[in-house]
Amino acid sequence: MIKLRILFLPVFLLFLLCGCIQTLHKTPVSQDADYLPAQISDSDSAESIEKVNHKNQKSIQQDGDYLPAQTSTPDFAKPPEKVAPKDKKPSPIDPLVAEKNIAENSSPEKKIQPIFDEALVFCQASQDFWQKGELENAIEALDHAYSLILEIDNNDIPELIQQKEDLRFMISKRILEIYASRNIVVNGNHNAIPMVMNKHIQNEINSFTKKGEKKFFVESYKRSGKYRPKIVSALKEAGLPVELSWLPLIESGFKVNALSKARALGLWQFIPSTGYKFGLKRNKYIDGRLDPVKSTKAAIEYLSELHHIFGDWTTVLAAYNCGEGKVLRVIRNQNINYLDNFWDLYERLPQETARYVPRFMATLHIIKNLEKYGLDSIPVDKPLEYEIINVSKQVHLRNVAKKIGVTEKTLRKLNPELRYRILPKDNYPLRVPSGKGQVLLAKLDEIPVSHPPQRAYVYHRIKSGESLSTIARRYRCSMRSIMRANNLRRSSFIIAGKKLKIPRRGTIVYRSKKYNKIKYANTSSHVVKSGDSLWIIAKQYGTTTKKIRELNNLSTTNLHIGQVLKIRERKEDRPAGEYLKTYLVKRGDSPFKIAQLHKMPLEQFLHINRLTPRNKIYPGQRLYVE
């Protein structure tokens, strides 16, 4: 019995111990224990960071980078490998450390922006000073603004670089505007053109009054009487300086049909794109750039726009000549010192534009002192007088002139924008001499309808897979006419991407009179160059590839650069009896008659006899004929 009791006691204690362990596993450890860190939630951490720096919108992210993860008691029943590694648990954050990190990571834009703001304030102050007439204070304010932006270190940030460049550019334009207004602010007229004199202007005055361009100036001054009165009236109405009415003298010599190398046309020399921008239409019937009234209106709009950009008439004139983009690039591409006035800009402009402004200023000086330069006795043409009649019929000026009793030349001068001298179908305002309007309306039904000429050719870009026959069917013409128009020898010799001239129906295509001339007359050898081939060389020297290969013992057609080839004599240099016949010149013969007699082109006859059109032939002379 005692032995049983002794055995029962350990067993009981063992069961008791197992029960305690099981109870211990089911009871979680308290999270309020002193030895565990306090639980920090994501929302609490966000509030603490916002309190440290509530103005910084680019604060550190609230994803727990600087915050401790939520502390929890490890589960003893779980395997140890599922416990998060220690290196991934961030340490708790110190508020002072967070403030330091935020300050270090803040954008440099916040430090630089006050400098930009201060520079803008000085620019506005400069504008106020300028409007009050205090030019020195205005310039000093801009100087200070410019010194501020020079101190800015943009740290290669694109936004700051662009902002700095824009501000520097604006200051440069303001400087030009203020310096230009120095000569005119006394009179209170900011739209006047300053009359300056320097060596560049004096050179142009001498050219117009003493040297080779005096005739051009005198003739242009005479023509100015036709158009200038209406130009002056339009400038006054727009509030622009009337001195600009002399700009067409420099642009076109007051010729309405003047055409420049850059395809600028008319009194005011508009290129097509600029003319279209300011309402000058160009179609099959009219070109608004040729009309003096319409082009004057467009020029006034363009000059006004340029004056709003630059504020300085001398710079405006330069931009009118070469385009505002080029002038703006010259201003923008300066390094440190800004351009004070146009004459600083002068040295950096293209030569043609650089002379343009001095020529205009020289014109103003001459016009205001005609007696001084001996030009006061030049008569000017009378202004054009006309009345406008709206015509809705497509008629030719020649037929209109016959019906109203004037010359066609008179109507052409009044209506220079009509490209083919034919009115459009729509309601067109036709200018006729004064007193002829009612005559035209009474006889309008008697005038026949006219049509502008059609283009003889259209152009077709060859597409892949097309043949000459398909192209001919598409345009309803023959293959032979296309081949003649494009000097094609074979119908298969067309290349995708190239353009073909397609004759329109009714167009007669003649065979080209150009013959393939032999390039070299007395050459017996040829040095192979890059791009040469036997076929090209044979063509140049009037022989065949077979003969060249035989003469040079070539087994293949391969050539190498620098190779010297022997060239057989030309056909024309052979004895006459072998290839050509001879003709004995008789009295009264001429190269033309001999060529016609033997049905030869004159050019070919002269070529084989080594004659030029100026050479003379004599009776008894022997000449080669085919």
CA distance 119 to 165: 13
Helix, strand, or coil here: 343? helix
Please report, as a single letter, which amino acid is at residue 359: R
- Using a 10 angstrom Cβ sphere, with 0-12 exposed, 13-18 middle and 19 or more buried, the burial of residue 559 is middle
Q: Where are the alpha helices (DSSP H) in 477-620?
A: 479-485, 534-541, 545-552, 576-579, 591-597, 602-608
Phi and psi at residue 373, to the nearest 5°: -100, 10
- For the chain, counts of helices (H) and of strands (E): 25, 8
Closest CA to 74 of 20, 18, 22, 31: 31
Spatial separation of the C-alpha atoms in residues 565 and 549, rounded to whole Å:
9
- As a whole number of angstroms, the distance between CA 118 and CA 242 comes to 40
Long-range contact list for 144-149, CB < 8 A, 24+ apart?
145/119, 145/120, 145/171, 146/119, 146/171, 146/338, 148/115, 148/118, 148/119, 148/122, 149/115, 149/116, 149/119
Distances in Å between the alpha carbon of 405 and those of 157, 408, 445, 446, 586? 74, 10, 16, 14, 57
Phi-psi region of 329 (alpha: psi -120 to 50; beta: other; left: phi over 0): alpha
3-state SS assignment for residue 448: coil
Q: Of the listed 177, 251, 347, 626, which one is catalytic? A: 251
Reduce the DSSP state of residue 564 to 3 states and report it. Answer: strand
Known catalytic membership, residue 251: yes
Angle (CA) 13 17 23, round 5°: 145
Task: Supply 40's token pair.
Answer: 């920090």
- Which of 431, 392, 390, 436 has its CA nearest to residue 292? 431
Secondary structure of residue 259 in the 3-state scheme? strand
The three-class DSSP label of residue 444 is: helix
- 344 Cβ neighbours under 8 A, 6+ residues apart: none
State residue 391 phi and psi, 5-degree precision.
Answer: -120, 130
CA pair distance 354, 321, nearest whole angstrom: 10
Q: What is the SS3 assignment for 429? A: strand
CB of 42 within 8 A of CB of 65? no
Q: In the numeric block, which tokens belong to residue 345?
A: 């800009």
Rounded distance, CA 547 to CA 555, Å? 12
Which residues are the active-site residues?
A: 251
